[in-house]
A and B are shown apart, each in its own frame.
Chain A
Amino acid sequence: MTSSASSNFEPGAPFDFATVADAMKIMGHSAWLDMKRHAEGPDWVEIALPWHADIVADADSGVLASGPIISLMDNATGIAVWKKRGSFLPQVTVDLRVDYMRPARPGATVIGRGECYKITRSFAFVRGVAYDESIDDPVAHVVGSFILVGGETPA
C-alpha cells in the first residue's frame, strides 16, 4: 500500500481506521479481495480477508493463493504505520518478505495483523502475521519496511 488509499484522505489528517475501511470497500484491489476492518491497537491493525472461490491457487483444493495474503499483509502493515504515526501521511512500501507457514484452511477467513514496531525520521519497520483460527498457528509471517515521503515523523 502506498500513499493515501483514497483521494478523500487529507494528507496529515488524523488517522481513522474506519475511513480506510470505507475506502477498502469501494476501491480497486482491496475491494476485489473484500478486505474488511477487524481490530486495532496503538501500533497495530487487523484486516479480514474472506475466502472467495476466485482467489484460490487450486480449484480442487480451494486453498487460497499466496498473492492475496501478500496484499492483505501489505495493507495491514501499511495501515499500522499510519496508526502509529497517528495521521494520513504518505509512505511507500520498500520491501516485504512473506514466510508461508501452512496453507490457509479452505473456506476460512484469513486475518492479517500488521504491526509497526519502529519509526525513524524517514523509515517505518513493520512485521505481522496472517492467521485463520488462532494467531498462535499462523498461516504466514511477514516483515517489511516503508519509506516515509514528505512530512517526516519526529523521532
Chain B
Amino acid sequence: MTTIILPPYALGLGCTIDHMDGDVPVLGCDYGPRVAGRPGFWHGGALSGLLEMAAVTAVRSALGIDMHRLKPVNVSVQFMRGGVQKRTYAVGRVIREGRRLVNVSAEAWQDDRAKPLARAEMHVMIAAAKG
C-alpha cells in the first residue's frame, strides 16, 4: 500500500484518509467552521476542494507514490444536495490513465453513498517525474 501525504490545504480543511476502498483512499472530513457556508451547511467551495483532493489522491495512488508532479487542468463540479453538519466522505475513480493525462471523477456523500452531495470530473496532467 502506498503512503499518501495530503497537502497542507487538505489538512487545514480537516481532511484525513478515512479508510481504503480496495486500492483507493476514501477521504473523510468533519463538519466545522472551516468548511461551513450558509448556516448549517457545507460551503460549495469546501466540498469542491474535498472532491478535488479525492480525485488527485486517487490518481496518486494509481500512479504510485510521489513519482510524478500532478497539475490540475480543469474540474467540473455538480452540486446535487446540500451538505449538512456531518462528516463527509469523498473518493476518486480513475477513468482513464494516459501517459500525460488522467481522466478522473470523484463523488462526495454523507450517510448514504448512493445519495451523493456533489460530483466532480477532472483532468490531471502528469507533468514530470520528480527529482
Contacts and interface: CB of A to CB of B under 8 A. Distances in A.
Interface of A: 1-7, 27-32, 53-59, 64-68, 70-75, 92-100
Interface string B71-85: 111111111001000
A57 B53 CA distance: 10
Contacts of A100: 71-74
Interface stretch (B16-24, B43-51, B107-115): B43-51
A-B pairs with lowest CB-CB distance, top 4: A71-B45, A67-B49, A28-B36, A65-B9
15 contacts: A5-B37, A28-B35, A30-B43, A54-B12, A55-B9, A57-B8, A59-B8, A67-B52, A67-B53, A68-B45, A70-B48, A75-B45, A93-B44, A97-B74, A100-B74
Interface in B50-108: 50, 52-53, 71-79, 82
B8 A92 contact: no
Select the residue from B9, B13, B76 with max chain A CB neighbours within 10 A: B9
A57 B9 contact: yes
Nearest to A5: B38
Nearest to B34: A32
Contacts of B78: 94-95
A72 B35 CA distance: 13
Nearest to B79: A93
Given A28-B34, A66-B72, A56 B8 contact: yes
